[in-house]
Structures are given as C-alpha cells and as structure tokens.
Amino acid sequence: MTVDAPIADGHPLPRLNDPARLRTRYAAEARFRIYGVAALSIAIAFLFGLFASIISNGWSAFLQTKAHVPVYLDPAEIDPDGKRDVSRFGLADYTKLARDALSKAIGLPEKQDKATKRDLKGLLSRAIDVQIRDLVVADPSLIGQTITVPLLAHGDVDSLLKGAIDRSIPEERRQLNDRQLQWIDKLTADGVLKKDFNAGLFAYGASSQPESSGLAVALIGSLFMMLTVALLAVPIGVATAAYLEEFAPKNFWTDLIEVNINNLAAVPSIVFGLLGLAVFINFAGLPRSASLIGGLVLTLMTLPTIIIATRAAIRAVPPSIREAALGVGASKMQTLFHHTLPLAFPGIMTGTIIGLVQALGETAPLLMIGMVAFVVDIPSSVMEPATALPVQIYMWATSAERGFVERTAGATIVLLGFLFVMNAAAVYLRRRFERKW
Amino acid sequence: MEHQVVHREAIGAEPLQPATIIARNVNVFYGAKQALFNVDVDVPRNAITAFIGPSGCGKSTFLRCLNRMNDTIPICKVTGKIMLDGQDIYDPDLDVVELRARVGMVFQKPNPFPKSIYENIAYGPRIHGLTRTKKELDELVEQCLEKAGLLKEVHDRMHEPGTGLSGGQQQRLCIARAIATRPDVILMDEPCSALDPIATAKVEELMDELKENYTIIIVTHSMQQAARVSQRTAFFHLGKLVEVGDTRQIFTNPRDKRTQDYITGRFG
Ligand SMILES: Nc1ncnc2c1ncn2[C@@H]1O[C@H](COP(=O)(O)OP(=O)(O)OP(=O)(O)O)[C@@H](O)[C@H]1O
Ligand SMILES: [Mg+2]
C-alpha cells in the first residue's frame, strides 16, 4: 500500500530563524572577523616595529657634533709668499690651525708635547683640513682674519655625545682617553662642542670616516637614474602598451610578445644586472659605475611593469568611449590620443610611479655593474661614477663603526622618505586626474 | 530568388525619395560564423527606416556595416556592395574617417565623452576642421543643441560635464554630437532602450523633426516605436532580410509568415 504523504512530513522544512543554525552562523562570522583583525594587527605590529627600530637607530644620523671655535687663518701658514696663489693654499697645514684654535678654546698652554697634540687632533675629524681649505679657496680675503668655523668633530666624539660610548670601560680599551673626556666635557659645558643639523649627510660623498661621509653621491646617482628611467621607460613603455592594445593584430607573434613581457616582469632583478654588464659595459663599452648604465638597467627592469600597468589602464577605458570617438569620425590615433590615453592617464601614472619606486629601491643589478664604488666626488653627469641610495645603505651596513651604523639607519630613513613621497604622489595624481564624471 | 521578390516596393506606399543607401548581396562573417546572408536593401533619403527582428538576427551587424564600424572588429569580414549616394563605401580608396563623419551613429547606451557638454559637440567639427573661428564653432554647437532640443535645458551649463545629464538628455546630447559633423545619415542602434517613456517620447519627436534633413536608420526592439516613427521597416530573421517595405504595410499586411509571427508576438 502506498501512501501519498505530504512532502513536509518526510522532509520537514527547516524552521526559519532556527536559533541553533543562527548561532553557528554568527559564530563563524565572528571568528572570521577575529582572524581578519588579528592578521591586520600582526601586519601593523611588524610595520610599526620596523619603523620604530629604523627611526630609533637612525634619527641621530641627522645630527652631527661640531666644535665652533674661532680659527685664526694665519697668513704665514696659508700664504707665506703673500701672492694669494690658490694652488699654494692646498699645501698649508690647516689641521694645525684648527688644533691651535681648539687648544685655545680649552685653555691649554701654547707649548705642547706630542701626546697632547695627538689627543687634540683626535677630537677633530680628518676632514677639517678640507673644510677649512675650501673656505679659504672660496674667499681668499679671509686670510689673516679669525673666523668661527663649525669644525667637524671626530666620529668618536660624536658617538660619545650621542651616548654611544661607555665612559665606564677602562681607559686603555676606550676610543677616547680620560684627558680627552675632560676636554670634551669642558668644551661641551662652554657650548663650543654641540650637535647641529647634519647638513653634511646630504653634502658629502664616500669617506672612510663616518663623520665626513654622506649621501650626496648616492642621492645624485639615484636622481640621475630615476631621470633616465623616467625619460626612457615611460615613453617606450606607454607607446608599446598603446600599440599592443590598440593597433597590433592579435596573432601568434603578439601573443608571444605578451607572454614574454609578463615573464620579464618576474625575472629576478640581478639578471638585468648581468645583462647590463654584458651589453652596456662589455659590448657597448660604456664606463663602469656610471649612473647612465644603472639607469639603462633599471629602465629594462621597469619597462614590463609600466607596459603591464598601461595596458591594464587602457583596457579599463570603456569601449563605448572609443566607439563614440570613432563614431564621430575620429581616426584610430585621434581616438587614442584624445580619449583613451587621457582617460587611462591616472592608471598609467600609478603604474609608472610604482615602477620608479621599485627601481629606486633596487640594489642587486647595480652591484653587478659596479655601482658599489667608493665615490668621493659628486658626479656632474650621467657618465661619471656614482652610487645609489640602497647601494649606499648596503655599503654602510658592512661597517661596524658606530657612526656608520647610525648612518645606515639614517640613509634608510631618507630612502623610505623618498618612497613615501613618491607613493603619496601616485595617490595624489590618481585622485587629481581621476574623472569622477 | 526569394529575396528579390520580397523586396518589391509595397503597393500604395507613400511616395519616398530615391534611395541614398543601396546594399546588395551583403554577407558578414565573424570568423567562421556567418552573421548576415545576402542582404539587399534600399534606404530612402530623408525618411526613417526601422530595422526590426529578434535578438541576434544581425540588425546591429548590418547597421555597423553602414559606417564601417565593423572595421574595428578584427575577425569581422564584410562582402558585397554598399553604396552611399552612388559611392561604394567599401572602396579601398575611401577614407573611413570621412565616411563616419557623413554617417553619424548613436549608440544603445548614451556614451557622451567624459568632457563638457560643449566639448562633446565641438569635438567632431574640430577634428574635421568644419569651422574656422571660435565664434563659428560656438554657433554650430548651439545649433546642434537646438536641433536636438537640448539647448533650453543646458544653455547655462555648457561647460559642465556631459555625463552629469540625465539618461535621456545624454542620449539627445549624443544625437547633437552626431549631427555636429553634418552627416547625411544617422544610424541609431536601439537609442531608447536605456530611456524611460518620457525621454523616449522626446527622442522620437526629435527623430521626426530630424528626418526632414537627415536619413535615419533606427534599430529597435519596440514594434510600437517602429510603427510610430518609421516610414519604412525591414524585418531581419536569423541573419536574413525577410521583408522590407512601407511600415504600414509591414504592420498591417505582412507578406511573409515569419514577419507576421514576429509582429504578432509569436516569437522573438
Ligand atoms: N563581435 C562579434 N564577434 C562575434 N560574433 C558576433 C559579434 N557581434 C555579433 N556577433 C554575432 O552576430 C550575430 C548578430 O549579432 P547582432 O549584434 O547583429 O544582433 P542584433 O540583431 O543586433 O541583436 P540584438 O537585438 O540582441 O542587439 C549574433 O549571432 C552574434 O552572436
Ligand atoms: Mg543589437
């Protein structure tokens, strides 16, 4: 016997608002939210930890101890012949002038033994020689006058004032002896030794002493490379993307090119360095360490990023706009330049800046083409040797001296600052040019 | 040949001007797939011709042949002959840009440029060099807006974005843009399908005025619209032109069974 039972009897419909089901669903949702918040908190904690460590290590790099002493620019030492001959100025012993000035500031007698002289000299940077000479060369009329010069203190003095040298360790193992400590304390109390803004960090090139080494060469090198990348990669990348998107026939070859561009974007950057070494230095014979080569290598590296971003931006322009333009009789090229590219501009800008930011932070390929050189002179053209910001960080990071450690972190702050500014610019440009209508 | 028979002019049709567009034996292929089969049609001057038919039957495809918009689809191939005022528009010597200035197009979804109302209309004349001075251009823009019945609504915000207008206003802006290049023919692909009835009525009214000076072809899914605005109607089915004739005749006395079925709503 078959009974036609109503469906609801055999398969009771679940009651709506069944409390048990609701509870499990709410619990699952709550759990998911907690996971999300936890993940975000961990990410923020890491980021915060990173910034805190870099800033606490590096902020002191922006200060530099200097001894503000009146230096007598003795004509007998600088210009004994009285001819004001600039080439003669280089032979003078400026260190002696500086030492005399310092000794006067401390109040030491004029006659001094060798050890005193050595200790006095140990308070000042070796770079003061050049520092004073440059003043005299720039303005020979200063000779014979007494001028107050902010003389660079020795790196050890700087470290002491920044609290990085422990006074309690025994004298023979300390960088500064007891007498020097006494002098430093007196000079500090008199306001002669004090910490100023470290303009030298942005003005000096490479140096073996931390107090006279700076980022100038790296900054200029990075600037030159960014200019090279911007001038080459942007037009080439945008033109390539526009051609591939709007004009190129869709066939085997363009597919192949597309696949390869995507692959190139994933090639490890050091490979581009090898390529640069082989092509630009060994084959084309361009000078090693020149920022032009760095720029060319980074251009190659950045191109795929810019092409991919530009293609995506062009593709995101609604086809209806293109049809509208073609419909009123605009040519393909007019459509591209009058409508598609302007509408894709924010996307292109964002992609470009992301590419530039990548290039700015790149180290490995630059090592391959010899941009790790010890470059003292600030390059005046793209053909002269230079370094780059991240390379400079790498080089300083390999030195153990306290002055270099703080500079490593300081330079990192500068680099992060640039990256931050560029990213902010990308966001700003996107907002500014995004058509809201 | 069947299609030659069905193309005979309807007896008692309103006197129409001679054809401005003559299509013969038009076949269109998307890759290997054929979308249109041996289409022959004459489109009379200064009248509205409606293309009707079920979805996917090739109305848009044929319309896009008339201003060679299909050129932009790489896989699309067109054979046959289409003459505009005695000139073969698929002649390799013919410049497609010139053609598109003479054969304007209005799309299904209003697609003003994301620029000002003024710029939307001034763009076409500017790239074709139709005006010499700023004053001439200003006048042309006003004229076009006036003809599109939009001037009163927008005269005080000519430099505001065209995308800020209502859907119906946008579509009339697109019509104004299309007539700014001084075309002979205006193609409209379902121009009212995104509009409400009031905006639709306005556009239809506008088309009625424009037909004095322009040859208009409209693709529409609304039988009522075709009956209301057009003088001639062409019925497409599965890529074939089934029947073409005077609108009144098509709707009251279709010759083909399929036309009959379609207009009575039995399929489509
Ligand atoms: N770009 C294209 N690529 C390939 N096939 C296409 C393309 N455009 C249209 N087709 C095909 O051609 C045929 C006709 O399409 P068409 O767009 O002309 O139809 P329609 O009559 O305008 O339809 P609807 O009323 O839905 O707009 C369809 O089968 C469609 O799939
Ligand atoms: Mg269609």
Of B114, B127, B164, the CB nearest to A329: B127
What residues in A contact B127, CB-CB < 8 Å?
328-330, 334, 338
Residues 59-98 of B with CB under 8 A from A: 67, 69, 72, 74, 97-98
The answer to which of A10-19, A117-126, B219-228 has the lowest mean pLDDT is A10-19
Instruction: Yes or no: say if B1 and B25 are a contact pair by the CB < 8 Å rule.
Output: no
Task: Tell me the per-residue pLDDT of B14-40, one tens digit each, with 9 for 90 and over.
Answer: 556 778 899 999 999 999 999 999 999
Which atom of ligand 1 is closest in space to residue B51's alpha carbon? 21
Write out residues with Cβ below 6 Å of ligand 1.
B 30, 35, 53, 55-61, 73
The amino acid occupying position A232 is L
Q: Provide the pLDDT confidence category of residue B4 given band limits of 50, 70 and 90.
A: very low
- Helical H segments across B20-105, by residue range: 59-66, 96-102
Mean pLDDT of B76-96: 91
pLDDT tens figures, A58-98: 888 999 999 999 999 888 888 888 788 888 888 888 888 89
The rounded distance, in Å, linking the Cα atoms of B59 and A249 is 27
Sorted by sequence, the CB contacts under 8 Å of residue B158 that are 6+ apart come out as B116, B117, B118, B141
Structure tokens at B219: 């693709």
Question: What's A290's DSSP letter?
Answer: B
Q: Write down the pLDDT at residue A172.
A: 86
Q: Could you read off the pLDDT of B144-176 as tens digits, one per residue?
A: 998 888 899 998 999 999 988 998 899 999 999
Taking any CB pair shorter than 8 Å as contact, residues of chain A touching chain B are 249-250, 318, 320-331, 334, 338-339, 343, 435, 437
Q: Is A352 left (phi over 0), alpha (psi -120 to 50) or beta?
A: alpha
Helix, strand, coil in percent for chain A, rounding step 5: 65, 5, 30
Between A326-335, B5-14, B238-247, the lowest mean confidence (pLDDT) is in B5-14
Q: What is the C-alpha separation between B128 and B95, in angstroms, rounded?
A: 13
Q: How far is the CA of B56 from the centre of ligand 1 (A)?
A: 5
What average pLDDT does the segment A276-291 reach?
89
Domain ranges of chain B: 2-112+182-263
Nearest to B97 among A250, A331, A435 (CB): A331
**Annotated domain spans of chain A:** 63-200, 216-433
Q: Cα-flanking dihedrals φ and ψ of residue A136, to 5°?
A: -70, -45
**Amino acid A167: pLDDT:** 87
- Two tokens at A357? 């930011």
Q: Please list, in sequence order, all residues whose beta carbon lies within 8 angstroms of the beta carbon of residue A2, skipping any fewer than 6 positions away.
A: none
Q: What is the CATH number of domain A216-433?
A: 1.10.3720.10
- From A3-12, A276-285, B85-94, the region with the lowest mean pLDDT: A3-12
- Report the nearest atom of ligand 1 relative to the CA of B28: 12
Q: How confident is the model at residue A341 (pLDDT cuts 50, 70, 90)?
A: very high
Nearest to A152 by CA among A115, A207, A104: A207
List CB contacts (< 8 A) between B68 and chain A. none
The percent of residues in chain B predicted with pLDDT above 90, rounded, is: 70
One-letter-per-residue 3-state SS of A102-170? HHHHHCCCCCCCHHHHHHHHCCECCCHHHHHHHHHHHCHHHCCCEEEEEEEECHHHHHHHCCCCCCCCC
pLDDT at A84: 80
Chain A, nearest residue to B74 by Cα: A249
Q: Residue B58 is encoded by which pair of tokens?
A: 């090739």
Element (H, E) at B245: strand B240-246
CA atoms of B105 and B186, how far apart (whole Å):
6
CA dihedral (A147, A148, A152, A157) in degrees, to 10, reads 140
For residue B8, pLDDT over 90 is answered with no
Q: What's the token pair of residue A371?
A: 């941009």
User: Is B259 in a helix, a strand, or coil?
Assistant: helix
The answer for residues whose C-beta is within 8 angstroms of residue A42's C-beta and 6 or more apart is none
pLDDT of residue B10: 39
Helix (H) or strand (E) holding A355: helix A341-360
User: Could B107 and A324 be called an inter-chain contact, meaning their C-beta atoms sit closer than 8 Å?
Assistant: yes
**Mean pLDDT computed over every residue of chain A:** 89
Whole-number pLDDT of residue B7: 40
Atom of ligand 1 lying closest to residue B54 CA: 25
Q: What's the confidence (pLDDT) of residue A436?
A: 53
Determine the pLDDT at residue B267.
Answer: 66
Q: Please report the pLDDT score of residue A10 as a whole number.
A: 54
CATH homologous superfamily, domain B2-112+182-263: P-loop containing nucleotide triphosphate hydrolases (3.40.50.300)
Please compute the mean of the pLDDT values over residues A27-53 and round it to a whole number.
Answer: 95
List the single residue in A with minimal CA-CA distance to B66.
Answer: A327
Using CA atoms, how far residue B120 sits from A317, A333, A348, in Å, is 17, 18, 24
Q: Across the interface, do A339 and B164 touch by the CB < 8 Å criterion?
A: no
Helix, strand and coil in chain B, % to nearest 5: 40, 25, 35
Of the pLDDT bands very low, low, confident and very high (cuts 50, 70, 90), residue A377 is confident
Mean pLDDT of the A192-198 span? 89
